[in-house]
A = this chain, B = another copy of it.
Amino acid sequence: MEGPKDLKEVVLEIAKKAKSASKTLTSLSSGVKNEVLKRVAQKIRENREELKKVNEKDVNQALLQGHTKAFIDRLTLSDKVIEAMAKGLEEVAQLPDPVGEVVKMWKRPNGLMVGRMRIPLGVIAIIYESRPNVTIDAAGLCFKSGNAVILRGGKEALNSNLALADLFRQTLKEFNLPEDAVQVIPTPDRTAMEYMLELEEYIDLVIPRGGEGLIRFVTEKARMPVIKHYKGVCHVYVDEEANLEMAKTIAINAKCQRPGVCNAMETLLVHEKIAPKFLPDLAEEYKKYGVELRGCPETLKLIPWAKPATEEDWYAEYLDLILAVKVVKDIDEAIEHISKYGSNHTEAIVTENYSKAMKFIKEVDASLVLVNASTRFNDGGELGLGAEIGISTTKIHAYGPMGLEELTTTKFIAFGNGQIRT
Residue numbers of A with Cβ under 8 A of B are 23, 26-27, 100, 106, 108, 112, 114, 117, 119, 121-122, 200, 204-205, 219-220, 223, 225-226, 243, 246, 249-250, 253-254, 257, 339, 357, 361-363, 365-374, 376-378, 382-384, 394-401, 409-422
Interfacial chain B residues near A357, Cβ < 8 Å: 415
Q: Are A420 and B368 in contact (CB under 8 A)?
A: no
Kindly report which residue of chain B lies nearest to residue A221, judged by CB atoms: B223
Contact status B412-A369, CB under 8 Å: yes
Bound form: Cα–Cα A421–B357 in Å: 21
Q: Which of B114, B253, B339, B400 contacts A411 (CB 8 A)?
A: B400
23 interchain pairs, CB-CB under 8 A? A23-B339, A23-B365, A100-B362, A114-B383, A114-B384, A204-B395, A204-B396, A246-B417, A246-B418, A250-B420, A365-B411, A366-B411, A368-B411, A368-B413, A369-B411, A371-B415, A373-B419, A373-B420, A374-B421, A378-B412, A395-B409, A396-B409, A397-B398
A373 vs B362: C-alpha distance when bound (angstroms): 41
Report chain B residues within 8 Å CB of A417. 246, 372-373
For A365, list chain B residues within 8 Å (CB): 23, 26, 119, 122, 411
Give Cα distance in the complex from A28 to B414, angstroms.
Answer: 35
Cα-based distance from A223 to B224 in the complex (angstroms) = 9
Contact B249 A420 (CB under 8 A): yes
Q: How long is the Cα–Cα vector from A420 to B252 in the complex, in angstroms?
A: 9
CB distance from A103 to the nearest CB of B (A): 10
Known contacts A219-B200, A396-B205, A396-B409; decide if A418 and B368 are in contact (CB<8 Å): no
Query: CB distance B114 to A412 under 8 Å?
Result: no
Asked if B376 and A421 sit within 8 Å, CB to CB, the answer is yes
Distance in Å: Cβ of A394 to nearest Cβ of chain B: 7
Cβ of A27: which chain B residues have Cβ within 8 Å of it? 362-363
From the candidates B225, B257, B373, name the one contacting A226 in the complex (CB within 8 A): B225
Q: A106-B384, A204-B395, A383-B114 are in contact. Are A414 and B369 (CB under 8 A)?
A: yes
CA distance in complex: A253, B422 (Å): 8
When C-beta atoms are compared, the residue in chain B nearest to A414 turns out to be B370
CB distance from A255 to the nearest CB of B (A): 11
Please indicate the chain B residues that have their CB under 8 angstroms from the CB of A121 in the complex: 395-396
> B376 to A420, Cβ gap below 8 A?
yes
User: Are B219 and A220 interface neighbours, CB within 8 A?
Assistant: no
- Chain B residues positioned under 8 Å from A250 (CB to CB): 418, 420
For the complex, give the distance between the alpha carbons of A418 and B417 in Å.
55
| In the complex, residue of chain B having the shortest beta-carbon distance to the beta carbon of A344 | B411
Asked whether B419 lies within 8 Å of A374 as measured between CB atoms, the reply is: yes
Docked CA distance A395–B23 (Å): 14
Cα-based distance from A396 to B200 in the complex (angstroms)? 13
**For residue A375, which residue of chain B has the nearest CB?**
B421
CB atoms of B108 and A383 under 8 A apart:
yes
A219 to chain B, nearest CB (A): 5
Q: Say whether B400 contacts A412, CB under 8 Å.
A: yes
Contact check, A419 vs B372: say whether CB atoms are below 8 A apart: yes
Q: Are A410 and B414 in contact (CB under 8 A)?
A: no
Given contacts A200-B219, A226-B225, contact A367 B249 (CB under 8 A): no
Q: Determine the distance from Cα of A373 to Cα of B414 in the docked complex, in whole angstroms.
A: 8
Q: How far is the CA of A117 from the CA of B409 in the complex (A)?
A: 18
User: Which of B219, B257, B339, B377 contacts A414 (CB under 8 A)?
Assistant: B377
Bound together, the chains give a CA A376 to CA B401 distance in angstroms of 37
**Residues of B contacting A378 in the complex (Cβ-Cβ under 8 angstroms):** 412
CB atoms of B253 and A421 under 8 A apart: yes
Known: A122-B395, A369-B412. A419 touches B377 (CB 8 A): yes
Bound CA span A313–B396, Å: 35
